[in-house]
Amino acid sequence: MSMLDTGNNVGGVDKDHGKMAEAEAMYRRALEGYEKAWGPEHMSMLDTVNNLGVLYKDQGKMAEAEAMYRRALEGQGEGVGAGAHVDAGHGPQPGEALRESRQDGRSGSHVSTGVGRV
């Protein structure tokens, strides 16, 4: 799966250089590959799902960002139940972004802050 990981990483580099369309394409390509390899609910793709959420948030696409954050949260819950390891040391989790958006006075359909990698 290292090629898929590389695609995810290239997406991050593109995002860091302001190439948002290229970053989205790389993240989507990696996510599609993960889904084909492991199925749509596998824990290994949560980094990419979360990264898409951050990208969408940075572009002001709050509905899309929230959808990705929620997907990452759902995947975490399923993975933890299956005995998978979730490393909290990678920064804030998707749920924190949703909580912070509500503290900013926005409705639950908007996400105001990004999160680190899952």
Q: Which of the pair, 85 or 76, is modelled with greater confidence?
A: 76
Q: How far apart are the first and last CA of the chain?
A: 18
pTM of the full predicted structure?
0.63
Examine residue 58 and state whether it is found in any structural domain, yes or no: yes
Q: What are phi and psi of 115, to 5 degrees?
A: -130, 160
DSSP per-residue string spanning the chain: -HHHHHHHHHHHHHHHTT-HHHHHHHHHHHHHHHHHHH-TT-GGGHHHHHHHHHHHHHTT-HHHHHHHHHHHHHHHHHHHHTT----GGGS--HHHHHHHHHHTT--TT---S-----
**pLDDT, mean of residues 71-91:** 56
Provide the residue range defining the domain that includes 27: 10-79
Residue 97: the pLDDT is: 58
Helices (H) and strands (E) in the chain, counts: 5, 0
Residue 65 token pair = 């960002």
Examine residue 112 and state whether it is found in any structural domain, yes or no: no
Examine residue 87 and state whether it is found in any structural domain, yes or no: no
Number of domains in the chain: 1
Examine residue 5 and state whether it is found in any structural domain, yes or no: no
Q: Give the best-scoring range by mean pLDDT among 28-42, 50-64, 80-94.
A: 50-64
Examine residue 60 and state whether it is found in any structural domain, yes or no: yes
Examine residue 46 and state whether it is found in any structural domain, yes or no: yes
Residue 19: the pLDDT is: 94
Dihedral of CA atoms 93, 94, 99, 105 in degrees, nearest 10, equals: 130
For the segment 87-107, what is each residue's pLDDT rounded down to a tens digit?
Answer: 434 444 555 555 554 444 444
Examine residue 111 and state whether it is found in any structural domain, yes or no: no
Residue 115 token pair = 């999160």
Examine residue 48 and state whether it is found in any structural domain, yes or no: yes
